[in-house]
Structure 1
Amino acid sequence: MVDDENLELINPKDWSWSFWFTLPLYPYGKRRTLRQEIIKDTIWTFDQIQGIFYVVVPIRMTVVKLDEGGLLVYAPVAPTPECIRLVNELVVEHGDVKYIILPTISGLEHKVFVGPFARYFPQAQVFVAPNQWSFPLNLPLSWLGLPAKRTQVLPQDSKQTPFAAEFDYAILDTIDLGPGKFAEVAFLHRRSHTLLVTDSVVSIPADPPAIVQLDPYPLLFHAKDQASDMVVDNQANRRKGWERITLFALYFRPSALQIPTLIAAISAAFKAPERSYRAYFGLYPFKWQQDWERSFTALRGDGRLFVAPVLQTLILNRAPQETINWADKVASWPFQWIIPCHFHAPIKAAPLQFRQAFSFLEKQPAVSAGLLSSSSYPLPAEDFQILQQIDTGLSKTGIVPTAKDKL
């Protein structure tokens, strides 16, 4: 249930994010926040959106009430006045924010908010994933906006943290990507049997999430079949736009999408009913094949848990053994729910389902963490073509290390 029932009464200034230029993604300086209570008086999610060219997906922060009183925040989002107000409502009832967790080292869309968010809660300790880096210069954490006197690196042993009585965590070993690195820290909240992850696994809802539907313009933009279309705002078109946005976000360019020439796209733009700045001056450089829905159906499945194609093709295949070891450790925990930082949440899932999501790294099913990792859910090979071309190009130029063979 969304807590904000009277959104029309909120001052738009509450959505203001003044530092949008540090990561200039849509919706830029105006970000809405939706809070949802996942487990009564225990876990809440805070959803915002971000994207490029109206390919908007949720980005999520999770707040957990501590048994000792107070709150732990996993992966902060933009601290707009609305977001901070919603957090402070929990503070009044459940105690101060005590711990703020940055669970990734490469996700700028997560890192950029931690420092500004922490400034609103000066008593909170900040814990970050090991081996943080920045590009083009590797700067100290304090230079990245993190409070120097109260920021520390998560130790490899979760028992050495002040929240060890309530949480376990597992650090995915740093994966070398050439100019940068990838890592992720999964947190288990024992009492609620809830797993918190950043980017490693996702599940796709059939309908666009509530946060995306607050402003349906991006959904309707991508529901068009051609630039001259005037799309009616109804649930069918919102879902159509959401399905295409999902394919863009996870494949970049699925096989069912054709890109017309620049001349053709500009010519079509003159026929567009709306040629404002918001509508990119009528430019709609996409042409979807008639059977494009099959790609979304295969991707979503029945709402299953899976690893995003981008991670499968460009990141985790650089370190299959390290990734499998991490997945085995996470799958040894008795969780019943998973909350990722993107797309659907919460996801009802068992450890076996989490482990299965990573079997794309294996040649044969393997017995890991006492669980039989049966076949993963293979996605259409043709939808991976662009990602594989990117992978090949990066490897040939030596920008990133070559992907390793499956285990």
Structure 2
Amino acid sequence: MVALVAVSSPKSTVFQSPISLRDSNSSFVGNSFSLQLKPRKSQKKDCNFGLVVASAGSGATTTVAGSDSGGSADRFYFNITGFPFPLGPFLNRRTTRTEAVKGSIWLFEQEQALGFSSVSTNIRMTVIKLKSGGLWVHAPIAPTKECIELVKELGAPVEYIVLPTFAYEHKIFVGPFSRKFPKAQVWVAPRQWSWPLNLPLEFFGIFRAKILQNEDPSTPWANEIEQKVLSSPEVGIGPYVEVAFYHKQSRTLLVTDAVIYVPKKPPECINKEYLLESAKNGLAVKILSKGKKVLDEPVVDNEINRQKGWERMVLQILFLGPSNLLEPNASFAQMSQKLIVSPIVKTLVFSKVPEKVRDWIDGIARDWKFKRIIPAHFAGPIKAGRAELLAAFAFLDELLGERYVTRPSLSLLFTSLMGKAASYFPPDDMKTLSSLDQFLVSVGAVKKTVSGRKR
């Protein structure tokens, strides 16, 4: 989600293939160039949110990270690809592993930054142990030596590697990760595309991939993990595609970007130097200060400034240009500690195809009795069920001008009340995003927001 929107696409897509200089099979496509990049410092703390966890009887939250004595070589991964901006860190990615459901589900996380800026958050890979004894990998992250060792410590072979979306920030790691486990089958979401060049999967190092189909009973994991595909019409230059999964034994819903839960405190894996950099009253703060005088005050390293940096990061990730970076507290409080649809995804994607999204979400809520949700960004796992998911998507009812009669009346009332809170975004913060939406519509880059269900 740190991959903020490009001026012509709701999710930026890759222009070049990913590179791991530790992988002899990796390839580089593009012009030669020379860069001097400063690697990020290794973190000494675990990336353990400790904020939203499954109930005590359903899982553990022990976090394991590679030993600091291993050095930065174990965390080396070279990536400067992406369009219109690259995704960092460029040279060094620390990995943590958290056991979300004891003996069954593990979360692997790395920091992900926006280009050369100090704005960053986490990106998550989820690994599920199947009854066969093999591992099912959802949304792979950068296959550093540390990451691969943490996977191998689980003591089970990787059987399946799954790309649940078309989005660049997840696609770029699938090829390099799969080469570390050559016996694993690779499965990808349908209708893959990229921009500005619509490149084949092979360009990204993804070969012999099988295509995920909606509610497909023939997938080799169908008895344990079910799937539902959201494959929308064109929302602009390409379709939005995301596959949701349901692990029946643990009652866990896996999504990529459909929903998020912003934690109150910054994840400990985020570099404190970047938190402090965001806490400085730089140019962005001076521009987005609601006309108030901005002082150039020194920033000392303390919890208050780290928190300010985190709040500013979040608002920039969610809104692109929030109304008041100088005093982010009020807007951050409105957006954190609740299950929501990201404002960018809501405005530039889901509002364009609400009928398709409504059918997808209602199918998930109707068929799957989940009690936790694991997204690919921000907090996870999230203790949430059907009511919380429907509340996050309550804005669709307003767009479609109707409510489904298939929902029980009491559930509908509860969802409506929760939805007003989950769907409320501060109007002043939405102005930049709304203006961008209007511009993209005017130049034909995205569709108009739909109002009313087609009959």
1:320, 1:406 within 8 Å by CA — same for their partners in 2? no
1:72, 1:100 within 8 Å by CA — same for their partners in 2? yes
Q: Which position in structure 1 is the counterpart of 2:416?
A: 374
Q: Which position in structure 1 is the counterpart of 2:165?
A: 104
Q: Which position in structure 2 is the counterpart of 1:67?
A: 131
- Identical counterparts, % of pairs: 41
Task: Note closer, same or farther for the CA distance 1:323–1:162 as it changes in structure 2 (3 Å cut).
Answer: same
Supply the AA of the counterpart residue of 1:343.
F
Corresponding residue SS for 2:217? helix
Task: Note closer, same or farther for the CA distance 1:296–1:235 as it changes in structure 2 (3 Å cut).
Answer: same
Over the residues paired in the alignment, what is the CA RMSD in angstroms? 1.8
The question of 1:44 aligning with 2:112 is answered no
2:215, 2:229 within 8 Å by CA — same for their partners in 1? no
Corresponding residue SS for 1:211? coil
2:235, 2:353 within 8 Å by CA — same for their partners in 1? no
Q: Which position in structure 2 is the counterpart of 1:9?
A: 69
Stretches of structure 1 that go unaligned for 5 or more consecutive residues are: 258-287
How many angstroms does 1:173 deviate by?
Answer: 2.0
Q: Which position in structure 1 is the counterpart of 2:120?
A: 56
Aligned partners of 1:180, 1:81: CA distance in 2, in Å? 35
Aligned partners of 2:179, 2:353: CA distance in 1, in Å? 36
Q: Which position in structure 1 is the counterpart of 2:272?
A: 216
Stretches of structure 2 that go unaligned for 5 or more consecutive residues are: 1-60, 284-295
1:63, 1:73 within 8 Å by CA — same for their partners in 2? yes
Corresponding residue SS for 1:338? strand
Aligned partners of 1:404, 1:124: CA distance in 2, in Å? 41
Aligned partners of 2:67, 2:321: CA distance in 1, in Å? 35
Corresponding residue SS for 1:315? helix
The counterpart of 1:135, out of the listed 191, 195, 199, is 195
1:198, 1:340 within 8 Å by CA — same for their partners in 2? yes
The question of 1:27 aligning with 2:89 is answered yes
How many angstroms does 1:226 deviate by?
Answer: 5.0
How many angstroms does 1:62 deviate by?
Answer: 0.4
- Measured against aligned partners, the alpha-carbon deviations of 1:123-144 in whole angstroms (never above 9, x if no partner) come to 1111111111122333332232
The question of 1:178 aligning with 2:241 is answered no
Task: Note closer, same or farther for the CA distance 1:231–1:345 as it changes in structure 2 (3 Å cut).
Answer: same
Q: Which position in structure 2 is the counterpart of 1:392?
A: 438
2:232, 2:240 within 8 Å by CA — same for their partners in 1? yes
TM-score (norm 1): 0.85
Higher relative contact order (CA 8 A, sep 6+): 2
Alignment of 1:323-402 (within 5 A): 323-332=357-366, 333-363=368-398, 366-367=403-404, 368=406, 370=408, 371-372=411-412, 373-375=415-417, 376=419, 377=421, 378-402=424-448
The question of 1:250 aligning with 2:284 is answered no
How many angstroms does 1:180 deviate by?
Answer: 2.0
- Measured against aligned partners, the alpha-carbon deviations of 1:206-258 in whole angstroms (never above 9, x if no partner) come to 1111221xx2111111112358433222222211111111001000111114x
Aligned partners of 2:65, 2:256: CA distance in 1, in Å? 28
Alignment of 1:82-161 (within 5 A): 82-90=146-154, 92=155, 95-105=156-166, 107-148=167-208, 151-161=209-219
Aligned partners of 2:363, 2:66: CA distance in 1, in Å? 43
Q: Which position in structure 2 is the counterpart of 1:275?
A: none
2:82, 2:168 within 8 Å by CA — same for their partners in 1? no
2:87, 2:169 within 8 Å by CA — same for their partners in 1? no
2:143, 2:173 within 8 Å by CA — same for their partners in 1? yes
Q: Which position in structure 2 is the counterpart of 1:297?
A: 333
Aligned partners of 1:139, 1:85: CA distance in 2, in Å? 31
Aligned partners of 1:295, 1:406: CA distance in 2, in Å? 30
Structure 1 segments of 4 or more deviating over 6 A? none
The question of 1:306 aligning with 2:340 is answered yes
State how many pairs are aligned: 365
